[in-house]
Structure 1
Amino acid sequence: MGKLLALLAVLSLGQIIAGERIVNCYWGTWANYRAGNGKFDVSNIDPSLCTHLSYSFFGINNNGDIQSLDTWLDYDLGFIRQAVGLKSRNPNLKVLAVIGGWNEGSVKYSSMAGDWNKRRNFINSALNLLRNNGFDGLDLDWEYPNQRGGNWADRSNFVTLLRELKEAFAPYRYELGIAVGAGESIASSSYEIANIAQQVDFINVMTYDFAMASDGKTGFNAPQWAVEDSINYWLSQGAPAHKLVLGVGTYGRSFQLSNPSQNWPGAPCRGVGNAGAYTGDGGYLGYNEICQYNWHTVFDNNNAAPYAYSGDQWVSYDNVLSVQWKMDFALRKNLGGAMVWSLETDDYRGLCGETYPLLKTINRKLRW
């Protein structure tokens, strides 16, 4: 009887841990401006599929103050208010304000992190942003310390900034997360991993963008080996498993083949693939675009990832099967959860079958 009770206790603990895993849903709010079935607004969000909704992006000015990057959308259209309002449908949902992103660059963040007065401005404006709008926390996406115009001092200054944010947030129980470059080459240059891990509630590891057309050849956006190597590196450098959140891209990187008859991984490419009807950027296709293409599709078991091609167009992406493999890895490593970049490129309308197939796959593995 005692052994049975002990077994039940272990099983219950496993269910609790599984239930507490994060599913962090990044949302690029500019998708509101996309055409046709690519248009995405708050009404398209299913808050039951997310533990966290990461509202992207806010920026900063040269003094370190946080600022809206689209005041008409954020405030006049009421996107922030509507996003926070989703908590009425899922009371456990945490809505986070995301600061930074690739387009914000690194220079302003390097200057802010290294200057006491600018850090004060940043922290005070963060508190005001969260309090005034009902956010539950902040996600800092500085891409990247000590890169893109930054300097070596960014590494230690980033730790200082996060420590001061943590202290300022504590009385309000605001959550603090960061989004980080995944691979060893970026992470070793940008972060004091063990030190930043002590200051934050979770670390969103951007385990994608491992191949680009600028490489001169086709490659996988998020091959399993690169994902595993990245997570293992973060673990080896002192990041606790329960704070690591595995990134899943709901998009693919596309390429224009140099020779359409050479359509395998590693084949020469002459540039980025054609822009999609929704996303409108060369070299980048949403899963909601890819799944509608009648291209020849191959699942590469060695990389646990699919690719597809038609004529001189080639794309690598994630599908339900590759996401399942990634979630199995996250479970084996007992990671804190998974995140998606981003909601508006999953098949949220169900144009190819069920709605949100990739996000639902994550939930089935980690939460349900």
Structure 2
Amino acid sequence: MGKLLAILAVLCLSQAIVAERIVNCYWGTWANYRSGNGKFDASNIDAGLCTHLSYSFFGINDSGEIVSLDTWLDYDLGFISKAVGLKSQNSGLKVLAVVGGWNEGSTKYSSMAGDWYKRQNFINSALNLLRNNGFDGLDLDWEYPNQRGGNWDDRANFVTLLRELKEAFAPYGYELGIAVGAGEGIASASYEIANIAQHVNFINVMTYDFAMASDGKTGFNSPQWAVEDSINFWMSQGAPANKLVLGVGMYGRTFQLSDASQNWPGASCRGGGNAGSYTGESGYLGYNEICLNNWETVFDYGNAAPYAFSGDQWVSFDNVLSVQYKMDFAISKGLAGAMIWSLETDDYRGQCGESYPLLKTINRKLRW
């Protein structure tokens, strides 16, 4: 009987390990340059809140080789080694190098993916980057194949690139993830979904930015219905639930109202809202900026998301309640977990109460 109980205990433990959900924490390292309470570095990271830490961003050159976008920060200030060093706080933490991002564009990645020699340069430089710095894998954030200067062949070439990366990584046990556009329009234009899913460990679905000031009207950054539609589309096209990671924005999209008295969703706007004191970007506020504002806040249950306004300023964002709705959905669909964009815009200092309120909400739902 004792041996049987021991076997059952091992089996239960194995299932628990397999079933652990991903909480992938993107880190925009440039937040080091922010002022005051917006400044963020490795000392501000609670490594126990993440299963993966995605160090963002690296780029590529015209030959397809991965390059640092800020060598002073990455190497002289030692940010890479500090990121990898966080594994001393959490022995299970995986630290990933993220290549790409919106500012990198698509043209160089299209050229690289379509050229065998450039692909080999990319893969070999990826191996060197991971080996030389102690990373546990790569997250490829090409925004987006077949768009922004790409071409139709990108869709097939992306599959080839991922297959070759997977083969090259296998002997070392490196993980391979990708970040992808969420909605059906972007996803169907950019990806052979069933094919790319075969070659990656997980797929970070960027289920946010569904409304922006360029639309000419206010809207929700990440309404529940759009999140659910996106995940359901990915699954319908052959992406397995256990590889899909649901994206949660730790920020809001802001709008300047055309008429301050018309402050509801869908109201006309004349552009992005005022820049925040930390993030300094029109049309965008971190949650750590939003929670400090004493604006009138409304939770729209039809979209399972809050918005807030003051004068002609309007913002849509996620809060603890809307994140709970998202995590309940992720659990109901059997998803691999959640990812956040990004650590440095949650209320990591706890200026409005608990530190990391949104990230801790995710953990309470998925891991604790």
Question: Which category of TM-score, normalised to the shorter sequence, fits these structures?
Answer: over 0.9
Match of 2:44?
A: 44
Q: Over aligned residue pairs, what C-alpha RMSD do you find?
A: 1.5
User: What one-letter code is carried by the residue in structure 2 that aligns with 1:311?
Assistant: G
Contact 1:35 1:278 in 2 (8 A): yes
Match of 1:218?
A: 218
Matches within 5 A, 1:156-195: 156-195=156-195
* Secondary structure, aligned partner of 2:73: helix
User: What one-letter code is carried by the residue in structure 1 that aligns with 2:23?
Assistant: V
Match of 1:137?
A: 137
- Percent of aligned positions that are identical: 84
Contact 1:24 1:52 in 2 (8 A): yes
List, as ranges, runs of 4+ consecutive aligned residues in structure 1 with deviation greater than 3 Å. 11-15
> What is the TM-score when the length of structure 2 is the normalising length?
0.96
* Secondary structure, aligned partner of 2:289: helix
Contact 1:19 1:366 in 2 (8 A): no
Q: State yes or no: 1:201 paired with 2:215.
A: no
Q: State yes or no: 1:227 paired with 2:214.
A: no
Distance 1:262 1:231, change over 3 A: same
Q: State yes or no: 1:299 paired with 2:299.
A: yes
* Secondary structure, aligned partner of 1:99: strand
User: What one-letter code is carried by the residue in structure 2 that aligns with 1:303?
Assistant: N
> How many Å separate the matches in 2 of 1:18 and 1:115?
37
> How many Å separate the matches in 1 of 2:355 and 2:170?
37
Matches within 5 A, 1:96-175: 96-175=96-175
Distance 1:309 1:41, change over 3 A: same
> How many Å separate the matches in 2 of 1:73 and 1:226?
37
> How many Å separate the matches in 1 of 2:56 and 2:268?
35
> How many Å separate the matches in 1 of 2:60 and 2:20?
32
Match of 1:353?
A: 353
For structure 1, the 5+ residue unaligned runs are: none
* Secondary structure, aligned partner of 2:179: strand
> How many Å separate the matches in 2 of 1:62 and 1:254?
35
Distance 1:315 1:135, change over 3 A: same
* Secondary structure, aligned partner of 1:261: coil
> What is the TM-score when the length of structure 1 is the normalising length?
0.96
* Structure 1 residue 19 displacement after superposition: 5.2
Match of 1:62?
A: 62
User: What one-letter code is carried by the residue in structure 1 that aligns with 2:201?
Assistant: D
Q: State yes or no: 1:239 paired with 2:239.
A: yes
Matches within 5 A, 1:244-255: 244-255=244-255
* Secondary structure, aligned partner of 2:121: helix
1:111-136 CA-to-partner distances (Å, cap 9, x unmatched) read: 00000000000000000000000000
1:152-192 CA-to-partner distances (Å, cap 9, x unmatched) read: 00000000000000000000000000000000000000000
For structure 2, the 5+ residue unaligned runs are: none
1:293-352 CA-to-partner distances (Å, cap 9, x unmatched) read: 000000000000000000000000000000000000000000000000000000000000
> How many Å separate the matches in 1 of 2:149 and 2:17?
40
Contact 1:19 1:367 in 2 (8 A): no
> How many Å separate the matches in 1 of 2:225 and 2:14?
27
1:63-118 CA-to-partner distances (Å, cap 9, x unmatched) read: 00000000000000000000000001111000000000000000000000000000
Count of residue pairs brought into register by the alignment: 361
* Structure 1 residue 287 displacement after superposition: 0.1
* Structure 1 residue 13 displacement after superposition: 7.9
User: What one-letter code is carried by the residue in structure 1 that aligns with 2:222?
Assistant: A
